[in-house]
Amino acid sequence: RQAFKELLESTVYKFIIINLFIIIFKGSAEKTIPLLSRIVTPLRLVLRSKSKDLFEAGLNALQQLSNCVGSDLNEYLPLLIV
C-alpha cells in the first residue's frame, strides 16, 4: 500500500512539474505572474519530496519560474522555503 501511495504521489508531482514547465515555456511573465499563487503550493510539495529526482526537478522548475517572472516571485519565497 505504501509503495502504491509513493508511486501515486510521484506521478502527481511529475504531472505538476511538467505542467509548470508548459506554463512557463508557452507563456511569458505577463501570463505566468497571475498564476504564481496557484503554482507555489504544488511546487512546495515537490520541493518537499523525499525523491531526489523530484526535488531536483522541482528546483529546476523553481529556477525557470524565477527566470520567467523575476522579482515578482519574491513575495512567494517564504512559502517555498522548505
Q: What is the DSSP string of 7-34?
A: HHHHHHHHHHHHHHHHHHHHS-HHHHGG
> What pLDDT was estimated at residue 77?
94
Cell numbers standing for residue 26 = 508557452
> What φ, ψ does residue 10 adopt, rounded to 5°?
-60, -45
Give ∠ CA 65-32-40 in degrees, rounded to 5.
60
pTM: 0.72
Higher confidence at residue 14 or residue 76? 76
CB 35 within 8 A of CB 68: no
> What pLDDT was estimated at residue 4?
53
How does pLDDT run across 4-60, given as a tens digit for each residue? 556 556 677 777 777 777 666 666 788 888 888 988 888 888 888 888 877 888 888
